Amino acid sequence: MTTEISSLDPRILARGREFFASISGESPSVFNKGWWTGKVMDWAMKNEDFKVQMFRFVDVLPYLNTSESLSRHIEEYFAGEDSNIPDVLKWGATKTKIGGGLVAKVLNKTIRSNIESMARQFIIGQQAKEAVKGIRKLRKDGFAFVLDLLGEATVSEVESAAYRDGYLEVLDAIQKEYAKWAPLGGDKGELDWGHAPKINVAVKPSAFYSQSKPVDIDGTVEGMMANIEPVFRKVMDMGGFLCIDMEQLKYKDCTVELYKRLRTKYPDYPHLGIVFQAYLRSVDDDVRGFLAWAREVNLPVSIRLVKGAYWDYETVLAKQNGWPVPVWTHKPESDMAYERVAKMIMENHDICHFACASHNIRTISAVMEMAGEMGVPDDKYEFQVLYGMAEPVRKGLKNVAKRVRLYCPYGDLLPGMAYLVRRLLENTANESFLKQTFADEADMDRLLENPEATLRRQLEGKCVAPEPEEGLQRFDNHPMVDFTVEAERLAFPGALEKVRATLGRKVPLFIDGQDVETDDVIDSYNPAKLEEVIGTVCQAGVTEVDRAVEAASAAYLSWRDVSPQERAETLLRAAQYLKDNIHEYSVLQTLEVGKQWDQAHADVCEAIDFMEYYAREMIRLGEPRRMGHAPGEMSHLFYQGKGVAAVIAPWNFPLAISVGMVSAAIVCGCPVVYKPSGISSCVGRGLVDMWKAAGLPDGVFNYCPGRGSVMGDHLVDHPDVAVIAFTGSMEVGLRIQERAAVVQPGQQHCKRVIAEMGGKNAVIIDDDADLDEAVLGVLYAAFGFQGQKCSACSRVVVLDAIYDRFVERLTEAAESIKLGPAENPANYMGPVADKGAQENVLRYVKIAEQEGTVLVKREVSDDLKATGCYVPLTIVGDITREHRIAQEEVFGPVLSVMRAKDMDEALDIANSTRFALTGAIYSRSPANLERAYREFRVGNLYLNKHSVGALVERHAFGGFKMSGVGSKSGGPDYLIQFLDPRLVSENTMRRGFAPIEEGDDWFV
């Protein structure tokens, strides 16, 4: 236990008890069961299913503009068998279902207005005028305010500007009357309590710049500055205080940097604050570093310390991405960190003002006692609570500390719902101090206990997680890059420089363990910088293909019989090699095919995943399986590799798909002749180094880039090739299947073709979709990596009722993203892969222009155009299913927008092409999601998430119809395609005697 804090504990306890006594019998209005909100909260806390449904319903409510959609959603969310649903809701829902009519209408109206008034409880006003009126009243009651404009997700610069203007508007409204406000604390003069500005506003920094991203701190901060500065200047004019809130971890570094820039740009204006979150494991270092900076620049600063509002989000995100969880995972750890860091801040009170923002009486009491002990002057700290949350706490605080500020959100209910849901979750969380105090009526001494003691007690009851067992661990996806980590941000420019120094060399073939040079060469170039040659790649002709197949055939005889375990271990060593060189392998893709940093990194992760996954799969399949139970007979099923595999890979996932197909073949015992795409042959050569490092025997992997027209058919037709694994266009895929069906002289087997081909992927936007997510999801799926993923969205099918709103936001968002070379992480979209791709896309842009109405056509600057293979980002409306642009695969950043009158028509349109690869739907209607599950017939369907970025195992990938033949890559059936099953059955009975084996059908 920290000695200084623990020695204060008796005083903290005494103060806490006093605090409790002063508010005895009072309860926050959210828990008041005499009101609708209190009743609903009560049910939510008792019934997890209802809580989820209720909060999801609250979230979708602002989108339900017609009584039909309101009724439908009430029914879908609440009219179940569950007897725990509160009568008020259940009654409304069942009535709606049975009869509809007037009764239902009245009930629906009641439910809507109840939820709206619940929202209003946390929101001081929807209009500026209303907010000012609310503030006036609060001040009359003796509370200061900090005003926060709702609207956290901005997807375009238009929306960021609106967010800025919202602040200017409310400040204007305040300006008209704040001079009349008497200062709080009875002091004369302009300041509350003699030192604090009367006006105080809080802002969400990411909302000021729609393109905020952690990988681009400089660009993000510049973008934020452009919109926050006018607000700050206005605040300064009015002598107010501006606090920059802290949002999700991904914005933390940008936010700190934004504060520093603003603070140093206006060094004479001290009323600028920032927030730190005690739930972050990094909080001690964050605050220590920040205070050191303040001393270094010698400028007074102000910190609001909170525990943090995004605990669930941060934990789920980290778990999904394989990152270390950045927040404490035991609640008392956050409480301990809070007290520790509060102490650190107050020790620096000469340079730092402190706002203690908590509703937790233990936390507040600890802060009060520490402040007293350290002699922190009154003007150096204050207390803050959320409007509408903890009335007894604020009252108690006002009695003791005097200086209490209420955090007052204002604005439309629509963006306000996200805020409301967060508050509802917070209030109903088991760990919440408010819930424990006022709803659970937990023991007061337990609530006031030192959190270190609470932690010890909590841990005592828990068993320690067992040490992981020896051997191969469960498969988990390799972690995605986390650009909140500075080392990751710095690794990419470093790797770019290193790899760039190696460019322009001759790239030989690799056959039977030897480099082989040819006279025929092709330069592979950087599509963003045509004069930059990545490598001069030797091209295999027919002779080299024959040599490679011969080497592979020879290697087959021994590699086939290497144990599955040993073959798997080779893959694991190769995976380790990629992990060790992940940044170099990533940036080579940025240079050779124009992949953005994060996506190039994801490509290498996927390659690693394929090998880690297939290694485990081969171990599973490699174990001979006993068939049947008959005594006296032992039958085993097992597999052997089919033979030589020709792997023909695309350029869009130049490493991942190559490694996926190649490693699957190799782990199955099938040596490979690998033909990478001409566009990405240098990335393809990376497989040679990888297999060498893994110790793969000569001849098992042969690298043979070549011109399709010269050696493609020859490879496919070769009689000694047993398997052809192909990923690419439908035309080439069909041609391969046709040719592979023809038996060549000397051929000893039927060829197996595994072909992943095209897609014309649709995303459906339901009329209740969360547009903050849908717009960004469609944008990313359509234009990430320039729309050149097989899974990319190329059609967005929008329900009539939401069409205008969606299209407006989508087009504004598309106008806001940055275009330019992928090397610069600020850019969202870069050049397409090469000149051929450029020509093809331009042709389709023309077709799109002829067939529909161009909504967005964004080009890069002429300078960039002259240096690289750029095409316009194109969104075209008024497209119907008959149009070519709605049917043919473009493989570039061209998105068709299609209108559907209802879900029937939307599904019909989505299913109306000959492809069936990926699809997505954004909807908050449980019934429509369920329907899409059944009727949106594609290989990979995503509900409320974008359609790209499939992960090995979790999203085993592949389509049907004209999108491909074969089982899903990265899935449990994939390896079987490279294997021939064999069965051996032995009669174990000799002279009437049979040994009885385990598993035999025998008597007990």
- Counting residues that bind ligand FAD (by CB under 6 A) gives 31
State the DSSP code for 993.
Answer: B
Amino acid code (one letter) for 343 = K
* Nearest approach, Cβ of residue 322 and ligand FAD (Å): 20
Interface with ligand FAD includes 512 (CB under 6 A)? no
Structural Rg of the chain based on CA atoms:
32
* Nearest approach, Cβ of residue 416 and ligand FAD (Å): 16
**Closest C-alpha among 762, 758, 777 to residue 897:** 762
* Nearest approach, Cβ of residue 690 and ligand FAD (Å): 41
CB 675 within 8 A of CB 711: yes
Interface with ligand FAD includes 208 (CB under 6 A)? no
**Closest CB to ligand FAD among 448 and 792?**
448
How is 642-662 classified by DSSP, letter by letter?
Answer: -SEEEEE--SSSTTHHHHHHH
**Closest C-alpha among 522, 520, 516 to residue 537:** 522
**Closest CB to ligand FAD among 446 and 620?**
446
* Nearest approach, Cβ of residue 486 and ligand FAD (Å): 21
Interface with ligand FAD includes 450 (CB under 6 A)? no
CB 766 within 8 A of CB 928: yes
**Closest CB to ligand FAD among 357 and 481?**
357
Q: What values do phi and psi take at 503, rounded to 5?
A: -75, 165
**Closest C-alpha among 49, 54, 66 to residue 768:** 66
Interface with ligand FAD includes 918 (CB under 6 A)? no
Stretch that binds ligand FAD, among 109-117, 431-439, 663-671, 801-809 (CB under 6 A): 431-439
* Nearest approach, Cβ of residue 487 and ligand FAD (Å): 25
Q: What values do phi and psi take at 420, rounded to 5?
A: -60, -45
Interface with ligand FAD includes 385 (CB under 6 A)? yes
Residues taking part in catalysis:
756, 790
**Closest CB to ligand FAD among 279 and 701?**
279
Read off the tokens for 10: 């008796």
Interface with ligand FAD includes 61 (CB under 6 A)? no
Among the listed residues 96, 227, 255, 334, the single contact to ligand FAD using CB under 6 A:
334
943-982 residues in contact with ligand FAD (CB under 6 A) are none
Interface with ligand FAD includes 363 (CB under 6 A)? yes
The site map against ligand FAD for 282-321 (x = CB under 6 A) is: ------------------------xxxxxx----------
Stretch that binds ligand FAD, among 97-105, 428-436, 475-483, 572-580 (CB under 6 A): 428-436
Interface with ligand FAD includes 354 (CB under 6 A)? no
* Nearest approach, Cβ of residue 423 and ligand FAD (Å): 8
- Burial class of residue 113 (count of CB atoms within 10 Å of its CB; 0-12, 13-18, 19+): exposed
402-421 residues in contact with ligand FAD (CB under 6 A) are 407
User: Which helix H or strand E contains 424, and what residues bound it?
Assistant: helix 413-428
Stretch that binds ligand FAD, among 18-26, 55-63, 356-364, 587-595 (CB under 6 A): 356-364
- Burial class of residue 997 (count of CB atoms within 10 Å of its CB; 0-12, 13-18, 19+): middle
**Closest CB to ligand FAD among 328 and 957?**
328
CB 657 within 8 A of CB 684: no
Among the listed residues 412, 431, 851, 997, the single contact to ligand FAD using CB under 6 A:
431
**Closest CB to ligand FAD among 331 and 718?**
331
CA distance 254 to 248: 11
* Nearest approach, Cβ of residue 485 and ligand FAD (Å): 20
Stretch that binds ligand FAD, among 424-432, 513-521, 788-796, 848-856 (CB under 6 A): 424-432
Among the listed residues 73, 340, 359, 718, the single contact to ligand FAD using CB under 6 A:
359
State the DSSP code for 436.
Answer: I
Q: Return the residue nearest ligand FAD (CB atom).
A: 307
* Nearest approach, Cβ of residue 168 and ligand FAD (Å): 21
Amino acid code (one letter) for 520 = D
**Closest C-alpha among 240, 249, 232 to residue 405:** 240
* Nearest approach, Cβ of residue 366 and ligand FAD (Å): 11
- Measured at the CA of 280, the angle between CA 274 and CA 284, to 5 degrees, comes to 70
CA distance 618 to 566: 10
CB 188 within 8 A of CB 205: no
- Packing angle between helix 486-500 and helix 582-593, nearest 10 degrees? 60
Among the listed residues 95, 331, 718, 789, the single contact to ligand FAD using CB under 6 A:
331
- Burial class of residue 851 (count of CB atoms within 10 Å of its CB; 0-12, 13-18, 19+): middle
Interface with ligand FAD includes 358 (CB under 6 A)? yes
* Nearest approach, Cβ of residue 269 and ligand FAD (Å): 21
Among the listed residues 286, 333, 550, 584, the single contact to ligand FAD using CB under 6 A:
333
Read off the tokens for 643: 């033979």
**Closest CB to ligand FAD among 308 and 825?**
308
Strand order in the sheet with 672-675: 514-516, 509-511, 701-703, 672-675, 644-648, 721-727, 752-756, 964-965
Decide: helix, strand or coil at residue 516: strand
Read off the tokens for 732: 């080439």
* Nearest approach, Cβ of residue 128 and ligand FAD (Å): 21
248-277 residues in contact with ligand FAD (CB under 6 A) are 275, 277
CA distance 975 to 329: 39
**Closest CB to ligand FAD among 407 and 585?**
407
Among the listed residues 128, 215, 272, 357, the single contact to ligand FAD using CB under 6 A:
357
Which parts of this chain interact with ligand FAD (CB under 6 A)?
Answer: 245-246, 275, 277, 279, 306-311, 327-331, 333-334, 357-360, 363, 384-386, 407, 426, 431-433
